[in-house]
Chain A
Amino acid sequence: MEPEPIYLSRLQHYLYCPRQFALIELEDVWVENQFTAEGKVLHQRVDQPDKQKRGDIRSVRSLRLSHAALGIEGVADVVEYHIQPDGSEQPYPIEYKRGKPKQHRADEVQLCAQALCLEDMEGLLVPEGALFYGEVRRRHVVYFDATLRELTLQTIQACRDIVQSKTTPKAVYKAGKCRNCSLIEQCHPQDFTRPASVWLAQQLTEN
């Protein structure tokens, strides 16, 4: 039996925090907060599948992607097909993101995984794509080089390891990261890393 596919959108959770990925993937923890709600509104605009052609670019919104061998699947916000002089089409994935370009490479990995799917589906190389950031309203070109591809493959494997082991990694508290995490209420990164039994024994013997 084939393993359940990993959703492209979950790869970024893993890169943000492996525990966050596990909470969502294994524990069905999902919190509708301001950030996710905003993301949804942004996506609703691009989520109705449709096709458009403008000049030598044909764009498809909400395109379903998958890569059977890698066991990943998801939906691309927009895939542009750039029509080449010889008539062939070069796929070019574009992902819409709330906010602005980030320090970590989570968005790039998600995009690169889309490119891997496109390559598998179309049977050709996809060398680049773009991230569109809502806050700065600018396209940020991403080249799918060997380093990014390697990181993407590693991330997919790491996600699969968590799914197969069915274990949520323990919390590692990092103030900057955890405070912006929508799952902090469910995760309690600071509390559950303390030794509970020692604490309890202390409390019960104290008078």
Chain B
Amino acid sequence: MRPLRNVIYIQTQNAWVHKDNDNLVMKVGDEIKARVPIHKLQGLVCFGQVSISPYLMAHCSENGVTITYLNQFGKFLARVEGPVSGNVLLRRTQHLTGADRDKSVAIARTMLSGKLYNQRAVLRRYLRDYGDQADGQAMAAELTTAEKRLSRCLNQLADCDAIDTLMGREGEAAQVYFGVFQYLIRQPDFQFDARRRRPPTDPVNALLSFCYTLLTHDCRSALETTGLDPASGFLHQLRSGRPSLALDLAEELRPMIDRFVLSLINKRQLSLKDFEEWPNGSFTLKEEPRRTLLAAWQDRKQDTLMHPWFEESVPIGMLPWTQAQILARFLRGDCDSYVPFLWK
């Protein structure tokens, strides 16, 4: 596997980021806050009021480092990227495949299979770690039931021959999975009853949404690096401005994010007072704790997982890239199916 390069998250307001020889330098006022060799970068993500010099931008774009601007709360604003790789043949195949209903369904099915498989792995892991605790008998029973239902949904995916029915099964699985998600949270002050996205109406949902954004960003970069068009998906419908394929690819990797969010809460790296409640009832993470989260996410990306298809261990941060690569190779006809990442 190629070495994992870093994504740098800059969220210091009024930071000025520029190029100094081969380094990225971040200044606030006159003070230098950070200096990083640019060749170690994979992406740059800026939150809110962050300025970047055009020369750094040019350097990034020449070296395949993408710059993403999010607002202070992590909402996507804009993105700066260099000329796309000249993989016009691959993109044409991707678009033709996307226009072919049966082929799209087949790819979407494998991706969702990966998602359900990995959601089930989250539950199984929890059962293994905590299932026999005295206070947890009833809970363990519910988790076991949920796990069985997920298995059934997973099997039923095989029979789906349309995107709608696939989405239906996926929705069902999500209900089951998020229906027991509360049990996986071992800090009683964090409550969760259902997945709510627009807007997140509790701290757990806020965390999930925020981290899914980070994941989608990484998937998008990985697709671009591989030469695929992130905007043209198989499962997610095409919509202008939407990174459909990045969203597709993120599906199977979300359970890894869920685990990460759970560990932040369960290890008390975050507490309720780290969140801000807004008048409309939505929640966001405050600035300082977001720094904690991003640092933890960087660390987590270095952890490795066994990739059963490649039969080698891969840093979590590289998973979007390995999957983009498998997808590209499948589209080019090297193998007869896309292979999702299956979390063993």
Which residues of A does B touch, CB under 8 Å?
A: 26-28, 166-168, 170-171, 185-186, 188, 191-192, 194-197, 199-200, 203-205, 207
Contact = CB atoms under 8 A, between A and B. Distances in A.
Interface residues of B, number: 31
A207 B151 contact: yes
A196 B335 contact: yes
Contacts of A167: 333
A200 B154 CA distance: 13
Given A28-B86, A167-B333, A168-B334, A199 B117 contact: no
B334 A170 contact: yes
A196 B1 contact: no
Interface in B150-173: 151, 154-155, 158
Interface string B294-335: 000000000000001110000000000000010001101111
Contact of B310 (A166, A191, A197): A191
Given A27-B87, A27-B89, A207-B151, A199 B334 contact: no
Nearest to B332: A168
A116 B332 CA distance: 34
Task: Choose among A27, A168, A196, A199 the residue with the greatest number of B CB atoms under 10 Å from its CB.
Answer: A196
Contacts of A186: 325
Given A28-B227, A167-B333, A200 B339 contact: yes
B336 A196 contact: yes
Contacts of B342: 203
B2 A185 contact: yes
A132 B333 CA distance: 40
Given A27-B90, A196-B337, A200-B113, 14 more contacts: A27-B227, A28-B85, A170-B334, A171-B334, A185-B1, A188-B310, A191-B309, A192-B329, A194-B335, A196-B330, A197-B337, A199-B339, A200-B339, A204-B158
B110 interface: yes
A120 to B, nearest CB: 30
A17 to B, nearest CB: 14
B2 A196 contact: no
Nearest to B120: A207
Nearest to B333: A167
Given A203-B308, A207-B151, A192 B227 contact: no
A196 to B, nearest CB: 4
B41 to A, nearest CB: 16
Contacts of B338: 196
Contacts of B155: 204-205
Interface string B113-125: 1000100000000
17 contacts: A26-B89, A27-B89, A28-B86, A166-B89, A168-B333, A192-B329, A195-B336, A196-B309, A196-B330, A196-B335, A196-B339, A197-B336, A200-B113, A200-B339, A203-B342, A204-B117, A204-B155
Contacts of A166: 89
Nearest to B110: A200
Given A188-B310, A197-B336, A28 B87 contact: yes
Contacts of A204: 113, 117, 154-155, 158
Contacts of A195: 335-336
B305 to A, nearest CB: 15
Given A185-B1, A204-B113, A192 B335 contact: yes
A196 B227 CA distance: 22
A199 B309 contact: yes
A188 B337 CA distance: 15
B89 A188 contact: no
B227 to A, nearest CB: 7
A171 B332 CA distance: 12
Nearest to B151: A207
Contacts of A199: 309, 339
- The 7 A-B residue pairs whose C-beta atoms are closest, nearest first, are A197-B337, A196-B335, A192-B334, A196-B337, A28-B86, A197-B336, A192-B335
Contacts of B308: 203
Contact of B329 (A28, A188, A197): A188
A166 B334 CA distance: 13
A167 B337 CA distance: 17
Interface string B265-287: 00000000000000000000000
A97 B77 CA distance: 50
Contacts of B309: 191, 196, 199
A185 B2 CA distance: 7
Q: Tell which of A27, A186, A188, A200 has the most Cβ of chain B within 10 Å.
A: A200
A194 B113 CA distance: 20
A197 B330 CA distance: 11
B337 A200 contact: yes
Contacts of A196: 309, 330, 335-339
A194 to B, nearest CB: 7
A95 B2 CA distance: 32
Interface string B72-91: 00000000000001110110
